[in-house]
Every structure is written in C-alpha cells, then in structure tokens.
C-alpha cells in the first residue's frame, strides 16, 4: 500500500505515527485519501461510459456492481481488522475512546460515499441521455407498437412509415439490435434487454426530474437498500473493530453469532407481544440497560465475564438500529422527501451510537488491563 501513497500522504502518516498514534492506528488518513480518489472515479467513469461511449446500463448492472463492492468491503474489513489488532494500544480516556470510534465511523462513511457517488452519478447520466419527459414518451411508444412484447405480437401491429422511423430512432437510442422485416415491420433481437433499459431510463428521469415513471424499475429500492446497508455498517463496524481489538478475531465471530441469536430472540419475543413490532426499540433498550448493569457489576474480572462484557458493547448500536428501523417503517417510502428526511435521521442516530458505544467500550476497557495511549 505504501508504494501507492504519494509523498504528502507519507508525510501525514509519519506525523500521525509520531504525534497522534491513536489517530494513526485507525488509518483514517488512508481512507480519506482513497475515498477522494474513489469519488473522482465514481464521477468520471459513469460519464465516460454512458455519456461518451454510449453504454446503457440496466438495474442488473447496478446491483451487480453493488454486490461486487460489498464483497470488496468484506475483504477490506478483514484486512482493516487484522491491521488494527497488530497495534494493541487503547485510549486512556473516555474522550479519546469516543474519538477513536468516531474516526472508525468516518472511515466507514468515506467508503460508503463512493457507493452513493457512483450510483447517483450513474442515475443522473442515464436521465440526461434525453430531454425531460422523453423516457415516458419512448416507453409509451414502445408499448403502443408492441415492441416490448415478442416479435409475433409486435408483427400484429402494422406500423406507419413515421412509426417505423421513430422505432428505429428509439431502438438506436437504447443500443438495441433490430432487423427491418418489411416496410411496416421491425424485429427487436433482445426484447427483455429493451424493456430493462426503457424501464431504468424512465425510473432515472422520474428520480432526477421528480416525474412519473413507466415500467418495473425500482431505483428507489436500490437507494433504500444502499442507505440501510450503509447505516448498518456505520453503526456496527466501529463497534465490531473495538470488540475485535479487545478479544481477538475468533471470539469476535462468536460474539457476532451470539448477538445474532439474541437479536432474533428479542425480535421474535417483541413480535409475539405486538404483531407489528411497535415495541422493538423498547426490547433492545431493556437489553442494553441490562448489559450495562452487568458490566458495571464486574468487580473481579475473569475470562467469561470479560468476554460477556466485550460482547455486550454491540447492544448499543443494535438498539439504535432498531430505533431507526421503527422510524422508517412508520414513514411510508412514497412520502415526498423521504430520503431527505431519513438520511439526516440516520446520521444523527449514527452519531449517538458513536458516543454510546464509545462510553460502553471505555467502561469495559477500564476493567481490564490494556495497553493505553493518549
């Protein structure tokens, strides 16, 4: 990695190592630099491929890149975690503990920003391939002339000369191969591909220009999925790294398993009492208060009590995650300004999670001998 770093980043790295070891240990300077490079590429590549080279991605393409990105982030998290464990130096104050988790959260945000920038730029580039409203006109024309159906059905519609010319123009716009069968018939070689591109074009213009859409594209679901996954990472990854540093990777995997089982039990019990799960945050809040009481009650720590104490830290972000989900469920996704309302709420909850997880981490760390640094 050092071979990829410019000189100024190496200087920053050396300065942080000698003066601010806790900041240096988080690798936040690496994340910010490569996030800047990643955001530039996330802006330039869609412009190059869509607007200049004429590519026309579909939803499958976007979801494919998202899945590849998640796999990459999984490997990045493992590498990051093992790198953190190489330097077992913990904060000595509550303030520095919160700052450390806050820096972890900034690292997660920097990675998430590349995903959002790439998707947002791609959607805007697709929408700007034509004038506002052209997506609806194109889709309606394709439906009217049966070109979104099989060739047998399409051949039953006799097209005029003007319609034939317009059909050629639209099919060329969508980069779809076609064959002219006769003066009034045209055959689309990949009807399903045409439908996907027409749908995402309509959905992209609806998203950018706030207009109606046609077809079955679900870009709003894609943004919601990205937002939800980003918030999960923002809440859980910093806590995951703190627990990993405290008890090691194998036991951290055990913690993840235990937390998953306990969360499933709390969710199941909550839905048993209330069919719509309205009391879900209350259930996790009760569990959070219970584990805080257990941590503060540790007087003679042993391996079991310390393991349970470290694993209890994850209840803080889980409680706040359930609180966020209850807010999302109570607000229909069709509400105007849904994303502009939910995203700030998510960031606010993430900020609270940093303080709460930092406090719990410090509470646990203060009960076991750990190498400390200011």
Express each pLDDT in 219-255 by its tens digit: 767 777 787 888 888 888 888 888 887 777 888 888 7
Counting Cβ atoms within 10 Å, is residue 157 exposed (0-12), middle (13-18) or buried (19+)? middle
Please give the angle made by the CA atoms of 160, 164 and 165, to the nearest 5 degrees.
Answer: 120
Of the pLDDT bands very low, low, confident and very high (cuts 50, 70, 90), residue 276 is low
Task: Give the model confidence (pLDDT) of 104-115 as tens digits.
Answer: 999 999 999 998
Q: What is the pLDDT of residue 371?
A: 44
Cα–Cα dist 279/277, whole Å: 6
Q: Which residues of 55-81 are buried (b: 16+ CB within 10 A; e: fewer)?
A: ebbbbeebeeebeebeeebeeebeebb
Does residue 39 carry a pLDDT above 90?
Answer: yes
Does residue 290 carry a pLDDT above 80?
Answer: no
Query: Under a CB-based contact definition with an 8 Å cutoff, are residues 198 and 148 in contact?
Result: yes
Distances 85 to 25, 28, 274 between C-alpha atoms, Å? 10, 15, 42
Q: What is the pLDDT of residue 374?
A: 44
Q: Which residues of 123-152 are buried (b: 16+ CB within 10 A; e: fewer)?
A: bbbbbbbeeeebbbebbebbeebbbbbebe
- Listed residue (341, 333, 70, 63) closest to 200, CA to CA: 63
Does residue 1 carry a pLDDT above 60?
Answer: no
Query: Under a CB-based contact definition with an 8 Å cutoff, are residues 354 and 296 in contact?
Result: no
Three-state DSSP string of 96-107: HHHHHHHHHHHH
Task: Give the model confidence (pLDDT) of 195-217 as tens digits.
Answer: 888 888 888 888 888 777 766 66
Which two tokens mark 131?
């004038």
Rg, C-alpha atoms of the chain: 26
Q: What is residue 91's three-state secondary structure?
A: strand
Does residue 373 carry a pLDDT above 80?
Answer: no
Specify the range with the lowest mean pLDDT, choosing from 185-189, 307-311, 334-338: 334-338
Name, in order, each residue with C-beta under 8 angstroms of 41's C-beta and a sequence gap of 6 or more. none
| Average pLDDT across the chain, whole number | 79
The 8-class DSSP code of residue 51 comes to I
pTM of the model: 0.83
Specify the range with the lowest mean pLDDT, choosing from 94-103, 128-137, 190-199, 313-322: 313-322
**Regarding beta strands 90-91 and 372-373, do their DSSP bridges make them parallel or antiparallel, or are they unpaired?**
parallel
More confident residue, 225 or 122: 122
More confident residue, 59 or 136: 136
Cα–Cα dist 107/120, whole Å: 20
Q: At what angle are helices 338-365 and 315-330 packed, to 10 degrees?
A: 160
Most confident of 32-36, 83-87, 318-322, 330-334: 32-36
What's the length of the chain? 374
More confident residue, 296 or 20: 20
Counting Cβ atoms within 10 Å, is residue 250 exposed (0-12), middle (13-18) or buried (19+)? exposed
Query: Under a CB-based contact definition with an 8 Å cutoff, are residues 227 and 220 in contact?
Result: no
Query: Under a CB-based contact definition with an 8 Å cutoff, are residues 345 and 290 in contact?
Result: no
Name, in order, each residue with C-beta under 8 angstroms of 199's C-beta and a sequence gap of 6 or more. 59, 139, 214, 215, 216, 217
Q: Where are the alpha helices (H) located in the chain, listed in sequence order?
A: 7-19, 21-26, 28-46, 59-85, 94-127, 134-144, 151-154, 161-173, 191-209, 219-247, 249-273, 280-296, 303-312, 315-330, 338-365
Which two tokens mark 175?
């980069």
Does residue 368 carry a pLDDT above 70?
Answer: no
Task: Give the model confidence (pLDDT) of 60-105 as tens digits.
Answer: 888 888 888 888 988 888 888 888 877 766 677 888 888 888 999 9
Q: What is the mean pLDDT of residues 42-60?
A: 86
More confident residue, 144 or 291: 144
Q: What is residue 130's three-state secondary structure?
A: coil
Q: Does residue 248 come out as left (phi exceeding 0), alpha (psi in the -120 to 50 range) or beta?
A: left
Q: What is the pLDDT of residue 372?
A: 45
């Amino acid at each position: 990695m050092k071979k990829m770093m410019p000189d100024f980043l190496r200087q920053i790295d050396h300065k942080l190592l000698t003066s601010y070891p806790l900041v240096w240990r988080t690798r936040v300077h690496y994340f910010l630099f490569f996030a800047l490079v990643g955001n530039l590429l996330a802006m330039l590549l869609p412009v190059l491929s869509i607007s200049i080279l004429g590519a026309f991605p579909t939803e499958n393409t976007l979801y494919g890149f998202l899945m590849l990105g998640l796999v990459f982030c999984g490997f990045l998290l493992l590498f990051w975690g093992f790198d953190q464990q190489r330097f077992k130096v913990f904060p000595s104050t509550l303030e520095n503990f919160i700052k450390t988790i806050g820096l972890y959260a900034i690292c997660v945000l920097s990675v998430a920003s590349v995903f959002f920038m790439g998707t947002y730029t791609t959607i805007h580039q697709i929408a700007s391939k034509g004038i506002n409203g052209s997506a609806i006109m194109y889709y309606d024309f394709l439906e009217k002339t049966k070109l979104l159906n099989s060739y047998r059905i399409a051949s039953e519609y006799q097209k005029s000369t003007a319609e034939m010319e317009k059909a050629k123009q639209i099919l060329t716009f969508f980069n779809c191969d076609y064959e002219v069968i006769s003066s009034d018939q045209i055959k689309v070689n990949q009807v399903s591909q045409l439908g996907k591109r027409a749908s995402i074009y309509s959905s992209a213009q609806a998203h950018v220009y706030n207009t109606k859409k046609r077809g079955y594209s679900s870009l709003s679901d894609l943004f919601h999925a990205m937002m939800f996954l980003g918030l999960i990472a923002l809440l859980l990854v910093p806590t995951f790294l703190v627990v990993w540093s405290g008890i090691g990777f194998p036991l951290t995997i055990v913690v993840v398993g235990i937390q998953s089982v306990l969360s499933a039990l709390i969710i199941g019990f909550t839905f048993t009492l209330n069919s719509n799960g309205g009391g879900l945050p209350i259930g996790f809040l009760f569990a959070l208060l219970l584990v805080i009481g257990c941590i503060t009650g540790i007087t003679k720590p042993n391996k079991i009590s310390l393991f349970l104490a470290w694993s209890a830290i994850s209840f803080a972000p889980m409680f706040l995650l359930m609180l966020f989900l209850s807010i999302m469920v109570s607000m229909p996704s069709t509400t105007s300004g849904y994303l502009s309302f939910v995203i700030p709420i998510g960031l606010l909850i993430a900020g609270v999670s940093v303080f709460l997880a930092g406090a719990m981490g410090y509470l646990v760390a203060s009960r076991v001998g750990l190498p400390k640094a200011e």
